Amino acid sequence: MTRIYALVNQKGGVGKTTTAINLAAYLAEMAQRVLIVDLDPQANATSSLGVNHQKINSGTYDVLIGRIPASEISLHNPKLKISLLPSSTALAGAQVEMVEIQDREKLLLRALTPLENHYDYILIDCPPSLGLLTINGLLAASDGVIIPVQCEYLALEGLTQLFYTLRRVRSGLFPGLSIRGMLLTMFDRRTNLARDVVEEVRRHFPDKVFQTVIPRSVRIAEAPSHGLPISTYAPNSPGAVAYRSLAYEMLQGDGVVIREAIASAEE
Q: Could you give the percent of the chain with pLDDT greater than 70?
A: 97
pLDDT digits (tens, 9 = 90+) for 72-92: 999 999 999 999 999 988 888
**Does residue 210 surpass a pLDDT of 60?**
yes
pLDDT at 27: 97
What's the DSSP call for residue 42?
A: T
Report, as an integer, the average pLDDT of 216-220. 95
**Does residue 10 surpass a pLDDT of 70?**
yes
pLDDT at 111: 94
End-to-end CA distance of the chain: 22
**Does residue 259 surpass a pLDDT of 80?**
no
| CATH number of the domain residue 160 falls in | 3.40.50.300
Domain that holds residue 252: 3-266
Pair 43, 86: CB distance under 8 Å:
yes
For the chain, the domain total comes to 1
**Does residue 54 surpass a pLDDT of 70?**
yes
Please give the distance of CA 39 from its chain centroid, rounded to a whole number. 10
Which contiguous run of DSSP H or E holds residue 47? helix 44-48
Q: Could you give the percent of the chain with pLDDT greater than 90?
A: 69
Which residues, including other chains, have CB under 8 Å from residue 11's CB and lie 6 or more apart?
128, 150, 154, 155, 158
**Does residue 15 surpass a pLDDT of 50?**
yes
Classify burial at 199, counting beta carbons within 10 Å of its beta carbon; exposed 0-12, middle 13-18, buried 19 or more.
Answer: exposed
pLDDT at 267: 43
The closest of 116, 12, 30 to 70, measured between CA atoms, is 116
Pair 246, 210: CB distance under 8 Å:
yes
pLDDT band at 218 (very low <50, low <70, confident <90, very high): very high
